[in-house]
Amino acid sequence: MSIAQDLISKMETAKRLAVTESKLPPCCLQIHPANTSVVYLGTYKLEKPSGLRHGSIETYDIVDGQFTLRSETKTELAILDLKFNPSDQRCLVLAHSTGIVKIWDVSADTYDLTLKQEYSITENDILVTSVFFNPLNCNELLCTLTSGEALILDLTKGDYETFDATHDLECWTGGFGQIGPCGNIVFTGGDDSKLIAHDSRTKEKVWATNHRHHDAGVVLILCPNESWLNFRPNDLWTGSYDDCLRIFDVRHLDGDDGPYLYQSLLPTETYKQNLGGGVWRLIPSPDSDMVLACCMYDGARIIKPGTSSFECVRYFKGDHESMCYGGDWKDPSSVITCSFYDNIIQQWLPTQTQ
pLDDT of residue 258: 46
- Look up residue 4 and give its DSSP letter: H
* Architecture of domain 3-348 in this structure: 7 Propeller (2.130)
What are the beta bridge partners of residue 292? Answer: 283, 302
pLDDT more than 70, % of the chain: 92
Q: List, as one string, the DSSP characters of 29-70.
A: EEE-SS-TTEEEEEE-EE-TTT--EE-EEEEEEEETTEEEEE
pLDDT of residue 337: 98
pLDDT digit string, tens, across residues 167-199:
999 999 999 999 888 888 999 999 999 999 999
pLDDT digit string, tens, across residues 90-143:
999 999 999 999 999 999 999 999 999 999 999 989 999 999 999 999 999 999
Across the chain, mean pLDDT equals 92
Q: How far apart are CA 284 and CA 290, in angstroms?
A: 6
Q: How far apart are CA 302 and CA 284, in angstroms?
A: 10
In one letter, which amino acid is 172? W
pLDDT digit string, tens, across residues 233-289:
889 999 999 999 999 998 754 444 544 566 667 899 999 999 999 999 999 999 999
Read off φ and ψ for residue 239, nearest 5 degrees.
-115, 150
Instruction: Give Cα separations from 109 to 60, 88, 89, 330 (angstroms).
Output: 15, 15, 12, 19
Instruction: Give Cα separations from 43 to 28, 76, 146, 256 (angstroms).
Output: 7, 10, 18, 48
